[in-house]
Chains A and B, each alone.
Chain A
């Protein structure tokens, strides 16, 4: 089974209002990879992400998750395979308590209640948030919300994790905890982010988007140390990548 594979084949997308967000994107992510998608504001990152979980359907080309192209008919399969952690946890934690929220996905997949209860507990323990289970989401800190949102996605046992700006709005400790948590996962990971330091810690491979196209695709250490490339794509290198400009080695870790 190659459930963990995800591929975009010459994908183009134009919003109904005429904005062309993706021009021509081809990209393949295979089992166990951890890939960062970076790019300046408006480069098409979010649009790309919404194609990977089937919220948007490509107007040109196609997206393949596992062995199946993403179409209306394959959406249930796509959503079971791909778990999305959205940028704003308040959008994602829509149930009245942490427990209910984590149980939401598995119950929709038809999991029996007893099994679901165990699953919820396992996932909340995995992110260190079991003690928060009875809290309403509006009584959680930013870091707690983020971890619960991750647990809610893990509860559906996806093969592929999509993470949209997982470090936004977190204090340094919360950010470090989330990065450590994500490093521990063996899932195929696709991370859309502006946080290039997080990229170096989490993703060996980086895809740089610029104006709806893939501007570069390669090892994170090399791409993020390439000042000319970053400049061309409207990005700025992380401090870690600039530690040693001579050897271009961004691996402080």
Chain B
């Protein structure tokens, strides 16, 4: 049976994030900042950028190689979300028919170019975020966000969600199984029954939330989240942060693709 989390594969992501590669061992703050800088750099390029985006693949490829996260895993997850990006860009070729690039006899319209750009950006950003989560545990990310000044309420939500998502998934799987074992056709529940099952799960979640809150109160919780400062920003974290930030700034503003093109064509402009 494919569980409800088959699409996200939380279990695999969680297991991967417990790895011990050099990337896993970096301070989560360094990884979080570098990934955010990467996303900003990629997203901020102009809408027809294609060649300028290609060098950015260096980042996910190197992280992939150093962290030991299986390429197939990341590729498959990116493919799962791809329809959204395709939907966003699919009408561009129809609306934007101006030819902006000529390759020999071939004219490429702005629409196709921006469509390709959207797909590349999408693959880069989702890939980078997946790699971040596959090399950094959610608790570590929450801690990093808190130390970087994210609001404590927000961090608490993320940590609580992570903690109880697995329970909720397990509970819904058991409920669905119990339904299937007693259902006449054993197939997908009718919408009406599905709604009832969801209602059941909601009630149970609310009851659990109440018990969890009681348990928190019993241990002196007063609304403020206190985390132990177990993070240490070491030399290699500074190196990682500085090198990648420098690389992104260079790729973003110096546009090596253009320079390379100019170099190949002998700088004749």
Contacts and interface: CB of A to CB of B under 8 A. Distances in A.
A113 B228 contact: yes
Interface in B7-49: 14
Interface residues of B, number: 29
A100 to B, nearest CB: 7
B214 A76 contact: no
Given A55-B218, A100-B227, A105-B219, A91 B163 contact: no
Contact of B163 (A82, A88, A136): A136
A116 B227 CA distance: 11
Interface string A68-94: 000000001001101110101011111
Specify which of A104, A105, A156 lies most central, judged by the most chain B CB atoms within 10 Å of its CB.
Answer: A104
A106 to B, nearest CB: 9
B170 to A, nearest CB: 8
Given A79-B220, A97-B139, A91 B215 contact: yes
A86 B219 CA distance: 12
B220 A80 contact: yes
A90 B169 CA distance: 14
B219 A136 contact: no
Given A99-B228, A138-B166, A91 B211 contact: yes
Contacts of B167: 90, 138
A90 B14 CA distance: 18
B20 to A, nearest CB: 11
Interface in B209-236: 211-212, 214-222, 226-230
B160 interface: yes
B218 A84 contact: yes
A103 interface: yes
Contact of A108 (B163, B212, B219): B219
Specify which of A80, A95, A116 lies most central, judged by the most chain B CB atoms within 10 Å of its CB.
Answer: A95
Contacts of B230: 99
A109 B220 contact: yes
A137 interface: yes
Given A88-B211, A91-B211, A156-B219, A113 B139 contact: no
Interface in B60-86: none
A245 interface: no
Interface of A is mostly: helix
B163 A95 contact: yes
A84 B221 CA distance: 14
A82 B159 CA distance: 27
Contacts of A83: 218
A203 interface: no
Contacts of B139: 96-97, 100, 136
B155 to A, nearest CB: 10
Interface string A165-184: 00000000000000000000
Interface in B123-142: 137-139, 142
Given A86-B211, A88-B211, A137-B163, A100 B216 contact: no
A29 to B, nearest CB: 18
A113 B218 contact: no
Given A55-B214, A91-B212, A94-B212, A108 B220 contact: yes
Contact of A152 (B14, B211, B219): B219
Contacts of A108: 219-222, 226
Nearest to A104: B219
B208 interface: yes
B159 A96 contact: yes
B162 interface: yes
A83 B215 CA distance: 10
Nearest to B159: A96
Nearest to A55: B214
A138 B166 CA distance: 7
B177 to A, nearest CB: 19
B63 to A, nearest CB: 22
A107 B226 contact: yes
Interface in A209-248: none
Nearest to B165: A138
A206 interface: no
A180 B220 CA distance: 28
A34 interface: no
A137 B162 CA distance: 11
Q: Which 3 A-B pairs have the closest CB atoms?
A: A108-B220, A96-B139, A105-B219
5 contacts: A86-B211, A91-B208, A104-B221, A108-B221, A108-B226
Given A94-B216, A108-B220, 8 more contacts: A79-B218, A79-B220, A91-B212, A91-B215, A94-B163, A95-B163, A107-B226, A116-B228
